[in-house]
Amino acid sequence: MSVGATILDAEGLRLTAEEKAFFRQADPFGFILFARNIDSADQLTALTGEMREAVGRDAPILIDQEGGRVQRLRPPLAREWEPPLDFARQAGPEATQAMYLRYLITALELRRYGIDVNCAPMVDVPRATTHEFLTDRCYGTTPAEAAGLGRAVAMGLMAGGVLPVVKHIPGHGLATADSHLDLPVVSAPVEELDTVDFAPFKVLNDLPMAMTAHVVYEAFDDQPATLSPRMIQVIRNDIGFDGLLMTDDISMKALSGSYADIASASIDAGCDVVLLCNATLEDRRTVADAAGQMSHIAQDRADRALALRGQASEVDIRTVEEKLEALLRGRGDV
């Protein structure tokens, strides 16, 4: 049975009665958390439980826990991390193993509170002109670095029982604008996009979930990828991604128009599920109505993704932390 084609958030530390009733009726595919939803371990665990109880199933609960600037969980609930690019450079030749261990630790931390999806790896390839909101969130400056470390991030998360969401497909690295505030327009030719920006996503096209880029690629279309049937075709056919495709947050200023129109357009373009963040309850109702239920194909992709959640390794977080610390000190065999 199909569920609602939305991922939604909550306003505060616990669900209100009105939110519970709405989520029960709208039955969103999943939920996403922000810093405003997080206070203590007991509170957060209770909130994720309430979210699942509202829809009557083990719905996925997402978070942005990249480390660095984009890290919703902070001490004492989770370890503070350097930005990914700085961390990878510090690890040097050990970066692949270090990133794997870092994100295994992250996954183990998230699962403590009932969170089972992380919006990472981010395999955008930065350039000299890339907007600063993105640069230090990247993993390297070449497609090979992005793909290799992106694979390590994904495998670390999955080893800890957390699903990765690769982003921002098909590549945000050439954007000179912050898509939270403006619509980035990329004028690069197809050849550059294919060999640089799309390349890491081709390598990682087997990952279970991906998030779109609110970016216009003029070589293909005048619409941002999230709303472009042509770009979704590129993602599916040229890049070869057949997992669950979610939009980036449709409340970001890169997209214009009503929430209902944006939600409908993204589903019509070929996205499987619509992400809406930081909106009013009425806006969430509007988007849930506009997005409707997941298509049968989208639901099949969702089911395939969620089936991977149970494949976590039985590992002790302190043991993993010790391995990472030894690796970064240049000692230890990991």
pLDDT in tens, 252-281: 988 999 999 999 999 999 999 999 999 999
Say whether 168 is catalytic: no
- Name the active-site residue from 39, 136, 180, 242: 180
| Distance between start and end Cα atoms, the chain | 44
CA angle 116, 122, 126 (to 5 degrees): 170
Does the pTM of the predicted model rise above 0.75?
yes
Q: Residue 14 and residue 1: Cα distance in Å, rounded?
A: 28
pLDDT tens digits for range 78-104: 999 999 999 999 999 999 999 999 999
- Domains (ranges, CATH) in the chain? 4-47+63-328 (3.20.20.300)
Band of residue 176 on the pLDDT scale cut at 50, 70, 90: confident
pLDDT in the model for residue 221? 96
DSSP characters for 44-89? Answer: HHHHHHHHHHHHTS---EEE-EEETTEES--TTTS-----HHHHHH
**Greatest CA separation for the chain:** 55
Say whether 180 is catalytic: yes
Average pLDDT over residues 1-12: 94
pLDDT of residue 310 exceeding 80, the answer is no
- Name the active-site residue from 9, 124, 248, 249: 248
Spatial contact of 116 and 163, defined as CB atoms under 8 Å apart: yes
Local structure of residue 198 (DSSP, 8 states): S
pLDDT of residue 177 exceeding 90, the answer is no
The rounded percent of the chain whose pLDDT value lies above 70 is 99
pLDDT in the model for residue 106? 97
Average predicted confidence (pLDDT) for the chain = 95
Q: Greater confidence, 200 or 182?
A: 200
Tell me the CA distances in angstroms from 32 to 65, 127, 311, one per residue in order: 11, 30, 22
